[in-house]
Amino acid sequence: NSFVTRTNTCGELRAAHVGQKVTLYGWVQYQRQGLFLVLRDFQGLTQVIIPQDEAHSHVKELLSSAPLESVVRVTGTVSPRPLGQENPKMPTGDIEVKAETAEILNSCKKLPFEIKDFIKKSEALRMQYRYLDLRSSRLQWALRLRSRVVMRMREYLCNLHGFVDVETPTLFKRTPGGAKEFLVPSREAGKFYSLPQSPQQFKQLLMVGGLDRYFQVARCYRDEGSRPDRQPEFTQIDIEMSFVDQAGIQRLIEGLLQHSWPEERGSIVTPFPSMTYEEALAEYGTDKPDTRFGMKIMDISDVLRGSNIHFVQNALSNPRGSIRAICIPQGVRYLTNKDLGSLKESARSQFNQEIMEIICRPDGSLKSLLTKFLGEKEQSELIQALNMQEGDVVLLAAGDHKQVCSALGAVRLLSANLLETAGLALRDPTAFHFLWVVDFPLFLPKAENPTELESAHHPFTAPHPSDVSLLYSDPTKVRSQHYDLVLNGNEVGGGSIRIHSAEQQRFVLEKVLKEDSEVLSHLIEALEFGAPPHGGIALGLDRLISLIVDAPSIRDVIAFPKSFRGRDLMGNAPDYVTPEELEPYHIQVSWPLEEKEAKKN
């Protein structure tokens, strides 16, 4: 209550304050028949008794007529609530304030929606009136928790481990590869700035500059179009260190998260388990596995190798072919035929992968189109390999290893959702399972042209020390020194040890990626001036906080988010500008015909 004219907040009065004269400020949350109202501020609620005597008739009239969500000042005396009228659900439930004077500081007009967490509002309406949505206890809690976590991170990095908080430029130039960047026009004809998708180059240059340990709560920008749970501008905890290896970065981040973890969300255990990219793909079908539940992908190639099943033999004749399966516990009980059909259709439409089911009957026998091709011995080996129990459903796929694993990984997650919807407790909502995924490939074939390569992450990632020679002979086989941090099946961080040799960086850009290294000449030249070995990581703050508070979307932990189409519905941005405003930037807008007509009308 320092620096302000209130004596107390609406959430702090207790029985110990009885008899004290207090001044409270807040919003009218509830009012009942001119007898009492509930006053709310950022910290809580207090019940205010409206005086009924003639001497305070003006106070009664004022408070009784105040619309909900009006801002008022109330001065009065703290009194104990009458016996039996205490409210144990409210921290201030043992007391009430008997109003003596009051003032409406700002009356509220008719609300577009009620300020209550349990009232359902469309997201578009919430974002249009975001300043009202921010009054909800859920958003208030999320934003305050976010603030506490960031403050503890600063404390850990700067105060305990000597990191330097440095602000890097927002206006820069295009970076080759990676996500699309927003362009910003300049007054030089034909020249544009780019908004950086991360401070990647600057943090490496800070290491060349000898700062040794850099940190920033960084604003980043990506022009990714309509992505349901992405934001065009987002925040990351950006970190870079000199003279560090992968294990050192991992230990730093584990300590950082342990130090900043909110007490009310339990504790986290370190060190976090680690898994290679190939293991993650083989067992979970994804590079960001949700390890809160089982249903791992199993390799049953050897079990079915001797069978006469045509599609199985077709798959195994391919050097990259395999037969994989997941076992869904109690699938017969919890999944309908429609559910199984939707799982198969999902694999077919997303991955062009056929899925076949096998059901374990109550007598232990198998029901499937495959059983007529399998002898008793093979069926028994299959049951043993998959640890099938009565009532389980197995989903089997055959084909290219990566395609099969990816399809089964997606089906695994969809199955978990269906099982939980049907009432089976599978994933503990209070559990936090962190996991490091390491040894990613350094390069991947381009989707539009598989004969060309692109960086799996970004072109500054160093090759694995054991694979450096392969960089010059067979770059497709090179593993990287990249590492991702995964939480409950969501990527919350990613980083790498960087290339600190100018010669190697130039080779990667020009010979492997076929990029024009001139765009990065400033960075390559900096590496020639005694650049130290260095590495770093960035944590996605929005995603991390949304998982900590169990929010359905990252938009629920950002004060003023954009819609999933990248629009600000409150301020109506982006918006048109006049030709006169564009003139200094040498830009003219070429309107599509239908938009020209719409603007005329």
What is the residue whose two structure tokens read 């929005």? 542
60: its two tokens: 């009664």
Q: Are residues 298 and 267 in the same domain?
A: no
Report the candidate in 441, 574, 569, 461 with the shortest Cα–Cα distance to residue 508: 461
The C-alpha atoms of residue 542 and residue 551 are separated, in whole angstroms, by: 10
Q: Are residues 264 and 316 in the same domain?
A: no
3-state secondary structure at position 230: coil
558: its two tokens: 């950002």
For residue 89, the domain's CATH number is: 2.40.50.140
Q: Are residues 246 and 352 in the same domain?
A: no
What would the pLDDT profile of 179-219 be if each residue is shown by its tens digit? 789 999 999 999 999 999 999 999 999 999 999 999 999 99
- DSSP H helices in 440-592: 468-473, 502-507, 521-527, 541-548, 579-582
Q: Is residue 596 part of a domain?
A: no
Q: Is residue 241 part of a domain?
A: yes
Report the candidate in 520, 517, 481 with the shortest Cα–Cα distance to residue 498: 481
Phi/psi region, residue 79 (left: phi>0; alpha: psi -120 to 50; beta: rest), is: beta
Residue 366 near residue 383, CB atoms below 8 Å: yes
CA gyration radius for the chain? 30
CA–CA distance from 133 to each of 70, 105, 378, 439, 572 (Å)? Answer: 15, 21, 60, 43, 17
The predicted pLDDT at position 227 comes to: 67
Q: Are residues 437 and 539 in the same domain?
A: yes
Q: Is residue 3 part of a domain?
A: no
**How, if at all, do strands 45-49 and 95-106 pair?**
parallel
Burial class for 525, CB neighbours closer than 10 Å (0-12, 13-18, 19+): exposed
Report the candidate in 50, 53, 81, 54 with the shortest Cα–Cα distance to residue 66: 50
Report the candidate in 546, 541, 568 with the shortest Cα–Cα distance to residue 557: 546
Q: Are residues 351 and 299 in the same domain?
A: yes
- Which DSSP symbol is given to 2? T
The C-alpha atoms of residue 317 and residue 60 are separated, in whole angstroms, by: 87
Q: Are residues 95 and 152 in the same domain?
A: no
Q: Is residue 8 part of a domain?
A: no
The predicted pLDDT at position 371 comes to: 86
Q: Are residues 270 and 143 in the same domain?
A: yes
CA angle 118, 120, 122 (to 5 degrees): 150
Boundary of a domain, candidates 384, 402, 422: 422
HSE, side-chain direction, 13 A CA sphere, residue 362: 1
The predicted pLDDT at position 229 comes to: 75
Measured from the Cβ of residue 170, the count of other Cβ atoms closer than 10 Å reads 15
- Which DSSP symbol is given to 573? B
Boundary of a domain, candidates 368, 402, 422: 422
The C-alpha atoms of residue 485 and residue 261 are separated, in whole angstroms, by: 16
3-state secondary structure at position 49: strand
The predicted pLDDT at position 433 comes to: 98
Q: Is residue 562 part of a domain?
A: no
Q: Are residues 438 and 492 in the same domain?
A: yes
Q: Are residues 221 and 264 in the same domain?
A: yes
What is the residue whose two structure tokens read 């080996």? 381
578: its two tokens: 């006049």
Q: Are residues 328 and 222 in the same domain?
A: no
Q: Which residues pair with 217 in a beta bridge?
A: 237
What would the pLDDT profile of 467-522 be if each residue is shown by its tens digit? 999 999 999 999 999 999 999 999 999 999 999 999 999 999 999 999 999 999 99
391: its two tokens: 């009532």
Q: What range defines the domain where residue 54 resides?
A: 15-106
Helices (H) and strands (E) in the chain, counts: 20, 22
Question: Could you tell me the pTM of the whole model?
Answer: 0.93
**How, if at all, do strands 45-49 and 71-80 pair?**
unpaired
Burial class for 427, CB neighbours closer than 10 Å (0-12, 13-18, 19+): middle
Domains in the chain: how many in total?
3
Q: Are residues 143 and 266 in the same domain?
A: yes
The predicted pLDDT at position 175 comes to: 78
The C-alpha atoms of residue 196 and residue 222 are separated, in whole angstroms, by: 8
Q: Is residue 6 part of a domain?
A: no
Q: Are residues 269 and 327 in the same domain?
A: no
HSE, side-chain direction, 13 A CA sphere, residue 262: 20
Q: Is residue 584 part of a domain?
A: no
For residue 383, the domain's CATH number is: 3.30.1360.30
What is the residue whose two structure tokens read 């609620």? 45
Q: What residue ranges of the chain have pLDDT lower than 70? A: 177-178, 225-228, 593-601
Boundary of a domain, candidates 525, 540, 556: 556
586: its two tokens: 């040498």
The predicted pLDDT at position 256 comes to: 98
3-state secondary structure at position 163: coil
Q: Is residue 600 part of a domain?
A: no
